[in-house]
């Protein structure tokens, strides 16, 4: 990985040094959070589940009527070029797309806008992240987000407040709860294992359809492990033997404590370990 300040950032067709990369203060991404994004894991310099992330980016853009003139192949090449230039072996690649620059106006239909595209990388240990072995502690908080959580927008204030609150309380993350049911964590999907059933909240506007979530469901199916998709109450979760989270930034992270109560015996469970192993095996074989 290149030293931070020498890293490149892609902005609207050009590569700049991190220091020089900039966008307009009138960008609607800045003024209105009028923007969407994607985060893909990078392992061995390759993008994990790139096509799935690209498809979700296009879906998010379509849902918000953002102008989409992206060519799949070009987009892939740009991301790969950036990863290579930044000498990134393991970490993350972020793609941020805003509606573009315009005079400040709630109404965007009258503006002829072209999207702002920013792509940057971040070094991060994903495969050997100590949390994936040790497990993490979480707390439940009310889900204060807008109603269209299925769209991956950059309106992340509620998640950011929830995560910060968790850290201030001495734990790792917050689990967002609505009407007694669990939705997801601040930036990951949630699964519980209870009486041999593995369950995750079903897809709806209440949660983001995680790419890791859907890959994991597929990989488990291939290994004859069934995952049920249905609503999970807080009470149900509190009686679970094992709990884990999935995301592109953490893959499969075991949860060992919720609201100060141990999950199971407070250690990372055997089923989660098996699922972690299956996920990593399948991801590696997809990349090779």
Based on CB atoms, which residue is closest to ligand PDD, 264 or 276?
276
Residue 95 CB, nearest approach to ligand PDD (Å):
11
Residue 156 CB, nearest approach to ligand PDD (Å):
7
Residue 157 to residue 47: CA distance in whole angstroms: 27
Based on CB atoms, which residue is closest to ligand PDD, 99 or 213?
213
Based on CB atoms, which residue is closest to ligand PDD, 63 or 108?
63
Residue 149 CB, nearest approach to ligand PDD (Å):
6
Based on CB atoms, which residue is closest to ligand PDD, 211 or 256?
211
- Tell me, yes or no, if 152 is annotated catalytic: yes
Q: By the criterion CB under 6 A, which residues form the site for ligand PDD?
A: 39, 184, 187-189, 208, 210-213, 246-249
Residue 212 CB, nearest approach to ligand PDD (Å):
3
Catalytic residue among 8, 19, 124, 152: 152
Catalytic machinery residues: 152
């Amino acid at each position: 990985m290149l030293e931070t300040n020498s890293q490149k950032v892609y902005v609207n067709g050009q590569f700049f040094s991190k220091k020089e990369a900039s966008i307009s203060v009138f960008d609607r991404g800045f003024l209105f959070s009028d923007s969407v994004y994607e985060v893909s894991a990078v392992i061995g310099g390759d993008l994990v589940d790139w096509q799935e992330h690209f498809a979700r980016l296009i879906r998010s853009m379509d849902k918000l009527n953002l102008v989409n003139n992206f060519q799949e192949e070009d987009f892939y090449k740009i991301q790969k070029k950036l990863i290579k230039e930044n000498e990134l072996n393991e970490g993350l690649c972020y793609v941020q797309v805003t509606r573009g620059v315009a005079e400040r106006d709630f109404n965007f239909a009258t503006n002829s806008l072209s999207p702002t595209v920013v792509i940057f990388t971040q070094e991060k240990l994903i495969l050997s992240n100590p949390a994936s072995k040790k497990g993490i502690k979480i707390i439940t908080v009310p889900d204060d987000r807008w109603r269209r959580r299925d769209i991956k927008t950059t309106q992340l204030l509620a998640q950011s407040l929830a995560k910060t609150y968790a850290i201030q309380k001495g734990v790792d993350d917050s689990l967002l709860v609505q009407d007694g049911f669990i939705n997801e964590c601040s930036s990951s999907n949630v699964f519980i294992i209870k009486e041999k059933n593995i369950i995750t909240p079903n897809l709806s506007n209440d949660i983001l359809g995680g790419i890791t979530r859907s890959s994991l469901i597929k990989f488990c199916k291939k290994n004859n492990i069934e995952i049920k998709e249905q609503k999970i109450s807080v009470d149900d979760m509190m009686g679970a033997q094992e709990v884990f989270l999935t995301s592109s930034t953490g893959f499969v992270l075991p949860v060992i404590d919720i609201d100060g109560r141990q999950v199971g015996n407070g250690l990372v469970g055997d089923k989660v370990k098996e699922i972690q192993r299956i996920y990593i095996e399948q991801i590696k074989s997809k990349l090779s």
